């Protein structure tokens, strides 16, 4: 078996080590004898969506998101939308999550029209939502408790066709108002969680990888368990700290 991963805009959207998500996916697949190819696609480079099973988009500040608008409008945005509809797997973090939505109205009044691959929109608030946080993913997105770090001024609101990735246990999540965190649409997993996310959330990582294998190969065998002592220690330490705080 083999999975092909596309890292979109790695040189522009990469806050708080979001690239660690790619390293983790690669490592957890290779440890099970599954071959992984990783390619990068940034501004000015054509995107052939048929080559990939998983797309990763990291976070970025308002400025970086604005820089990408022209490149997205030149055809990449349409490609991303059709990959989403084709049930390819996406993992999108923070600025990358917002970018999959309809638009982002920044707190200082500019409107960034994004690609509308998922039915969400984001409104900037002057006060930033910052800190370690945790949420419980919905059963259809593994049911795991996820720990992470959020830092955003955008408040994201989900449209009718999009489910939250999970429910906030501590912190702000999508908007600090409705307890929702992230978004799940088809095989898109989107979240505000930097950290990076996957190294200390192995259950969610394997769920995403399994989703990609099932999409590609039909009935894929469950992934063999790995020794996750270190990963679980990191996860549980943060979960306990947040519970106390």
Q: Least distance to ligand GLN from the beta carbon of 104, Å?
A: 7
CB 42 within 8 A of CB 12: yes
In the set 7, 121, 152, 194, the catalytic residue is 194
CB 186 within 8 A of CB 81: no
CB 111 within 8 A of CB 123: no
Q: What is the DSSP letter of 213?
A: H
Q: Where are the beta strands (DSSP E) in 9-93?
A: 35-41, 54-57, 89-93
Which residues of this chain interact with ligand GLN, rule CB under 6 A? 15, 59-62, 65, 94-95, 98, 151-154
Report the residue number, 49 or 183, with the smaller CB distance to ligand GLN. 183
In the set 94, 121, 152, 205, the catalytic residue is 94
Report the residue number, 180 or 211, with the smaller CB distance to ligand GLN. 180
Q: Least distance to ligand GLN from the beta carbon of 154, Å?
A: 3
Q: Least distance to ligand GLN from the beta carbon of 68, Å?
A: 11
Report the residue number, 62 or 239, with the smaller CB distance to ligand GLN. 62
Report the residue number, 82 or 110, with the smaller CB distance to ligand GLN. 110
Quote the longest CA-to-CA distance of the chain.
50
| CB-side neighbour CA atoms (13 Å) of 202 | 17
Mode of pairing for the β-strands spanning 120-137 and 111-113: unpaired
Would you call 235 a catalytic residue per the annotation? no
Q: Least distance to ligand GLN from the beta carbon of 92, Å?
A: 10
Would you call 94 a catalytic residue per the annotation? yes
Residues serving a catalytic function are 94, 194
């Amino acid at each position: 078996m083999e999975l092909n991963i596309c890292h979109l805009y790695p040189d522009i959207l990469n806050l708080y080590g979001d690239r660690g998500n790619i390293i983790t996916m690669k490592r957890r697949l290779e440890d099970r004898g599954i071959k992984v190819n990783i390619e990068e696609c940034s501004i000015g480079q054509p995107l052939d969506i048929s080559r990939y099973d998983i797309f990763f988009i990291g976070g970025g500040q308002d400025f970086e998101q604005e820089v990408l608008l022209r490149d997205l409008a030149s055809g990449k945005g349409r490609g991303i939308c059709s990959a989403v509809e084709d049930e390819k797997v996406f993992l999108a973090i923070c600025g990358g999550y917002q970018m999959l939505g309809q638009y982002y109205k920044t707190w200082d009044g500019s409107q960034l029209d994004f690609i509308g691959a998922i039915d969400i929109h984001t409104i900037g608030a002057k006060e930033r939502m910052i800190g370690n946080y945790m949420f419980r993913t919905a059963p259809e997105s593994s049911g795991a408790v996820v720990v992470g770090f959020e830092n955003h001024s955008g408040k994201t609101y989900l449209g009718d066709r999009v489910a939250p990735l999970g429910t906030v246990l501590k912190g702000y999540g999508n908007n600090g108002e409705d307890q929702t965190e992230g978004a799940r649409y088809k095989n898109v997993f989107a979240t505000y969680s930097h950290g990076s996310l996957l190294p200390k959330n192995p259950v969610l990582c394997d769920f995403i990888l399994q989703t990609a294998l099932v999409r590609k190969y039909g009935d894929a065998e469950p992934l063999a368990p790995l020794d996750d002592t270190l990963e679980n220690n990191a996860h549980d330490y943060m979960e306990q700290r947040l519970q106390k705080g």
